[in-house]
A and B are shown apart, each in its own frame.
Chain A
């Protein structure tokens, strides 16, 4: 895997000068490479990793499984593209297995999400069934542990 992408996906705050030193490549090359990734859409943005569990009134998240009827020619893409337009929908994945699409949906309350599922999703053409799972607690997200595991450096020997 591209080392630059790997580093940026873990920490996007490193400066191009720092990345240039870490990778042993000229800074100009790093800048050009990042521009290229941004232009081609491989890099879609830069954001903070937030532990929403620690933010008051940050709402609730549900994982929603959808069984859908695939459309002629377009398969699952057409319905996925209609689903992803809702602002409540954070992510959409096509899955292999017992259901077809997996969504993460964010809302202010359980009631809000329930109403979104009942009134919007379930009512869409081509959606055969839904199963909603509310998230209770986050332990790890995007490769980052969100629980306070022992982080203390246990090394005491100098030299």
Chain B
């Protein structure tokens, strides 16, 4: 049977991940020293796991309301007020989703129609472009630059704006670059957003992981922007809860109502056990976040310092848990660099090109690993550079 006929043109037009070939090699090798994962190495704090276990022991195994438990929505609203100074109404402005990923998907589907253009800064996480295509909308890529510290500038947005531009994706703190946006950067782009009557999807999943005393600023806290912003966040990175699959979207009630409608039909409700655990995390997890942030920060300094010492110029990341060194000095492409490093030393980084064409010339190194693991990997990368 010709299954191509049975599948939609849209899903077939979505490009498979460019690094599949690379990770096919990784998966076939033994004893790979990986620096490639994009999730915390910490386990979910025990008291949070306990809350999940207790809910199971009590037999709380039913669906929750479509939007998520009211208790959880209330804690999420408190968290955004406490941490980022933005007020949301737990009854109308919050929907709890299956990870940040689902929230991104339903937000794009609710806000971009066929032919609408969605601005996507890159390098960035891989899901925005395919999800935009699946929504029938048109991805328009903005290439951020290392000389701007991979921040998004108003000029870069202006250059890409047309009459069809509808939505701006704002992926900060950024995976893979580790870039953040400071208040003045956000104020500058807020002007362009308002001028062209755009909406913003602000993916703030790494919001609790910023370093060097720089706190995350949500664009929703900038004057006049709350009404134009859907904030995406979740529990995966801040509380080391990736496997629980729990995230949320915050925004104007009219928009959240539509997200909830879509969520209701495709998901019903986010995982019940995870919601119980998340309430505990929001109520008593601030110390856990602080402990993990300090540990990441120490590894960040170690990795960035080591890379710079060995001649791989590394932009100073101020968020997330990735270093994004420039590998152009080796004369190799991202994929060649990573493939040869893997073959010679069994160290796995992710080619920067996986995060968009503008990631070419870079590699992503996750420092979500123990110091001993990082030391070993850094030593091997050093040997590899010496043998090139």
Contact = CB atoms under 8 A, between A and B. Distances in A.
B371 A22 contact: yes
Given A11-B371, A153-B41, A158 B301 contact: no
Contacts of A18: 302, 306, 375
B301 A22 contact: yes
B354 A159 contact: yes
A155 interface: yes
A159 B38 contact: yes
B92 interface: no
A97 interface: no
B335 to A, nearest CB: 14
A149 to B, nearest CB: 12
A69 interface: no
Nearest to A155: B37
B384 interface: no
A7 B295 CA distance: 11
Contact of B38 (A14, A20, A23, A158): A158
B162 to A, nearest CB: 30
B38 A21 contact: no
A136 to B, nearest CB: 28
B235 to A, nearest CB: 16
Interface residues of A, number: 15
Interface in B335-383: 350, 354, 371-372, 375
A159 B34 CA distance: 12
A24 interface: yes
Contacts of B311: none
A32 interface: no
Contacts of B36: 158-159
A157 interface: yes
A158 B19 CA distance: 10
Q: Which of A18, A23, A156, A159 is the most central at the interface, judged by chain B CB atoms within 10 Å of its CB?
A: A159
| Most chain A beta-carbon contacts within 10 A, residue among B37, B299, B306 | B37
B75 interface: no
A153 B19 CA distance: 22
B91 interface: no
Contacts of A14: 371, 375
B39 A22 contact: no
Contact of B37 (A11, A20, A22, A157): A157
Interface in A8-64: 11, 14, 18, 20-24
The interface centre, meaning the residue of A7, A18, A155, A157 with most chain B CB atoms within 10 A of its CB, is A155
Contacts of B126: 159
Interface in B61-80: none
B301 A23 contact: yes
B301 A11 contact: no
B84 interface: no
A22 B300 CA distance: 8
A157 B27 CA distance: 11
A21 B23 contact: no
Contact of A155 (B23, B26, B41): B41
A158 B302 contact: no
A153 B39 CA distance: 12
Nearest to B176: A159
A155 B375 CA distance: 19
B298 interface: yes
A73 to B, nearest CB: 45
Nearest to A19: B302
A153 B34 contact: yes
Nearest to A15: B375
A15 to B, nearest CB: 10
B302 A22 contact: yes
B350 A159 contact: yes
A155 B39 contact: yes
A21 B304 CA distance: 8
A21 B305 contact: yes
B125 interface: yes
Nearest to A158: B36
Contacts of B242: 157
B212 to A, nearest CB: 9
Contacts of B23: 158
A18 B26 CA distance: 29
A157 B41 contact: no
Given A153-B34, A158-B36, 13 more contacts: A20-B305, A21-B305, A22-B302, A155-B39, A155-B41, A156-B37, A158-B19, A158-B23, A158-B38, A159-B17, A159-B36, A159-B350, A159-B354
The 10 closest A-B pairs by CB, nearest first: A21-B305, A155-B37, A22-B302, A22-B298, A21-B302, A158-B36, A24-B301, A159-B38, A21-B301, A22-B301
14 contacts: A11-B371, A14-B371, A14-B375, A21-B305, A22-B301, A23-B301, A24-B301, A155-B37, A157-B37, A157-B38, A158-B38, A158-B350, A159-B36, A159-B126
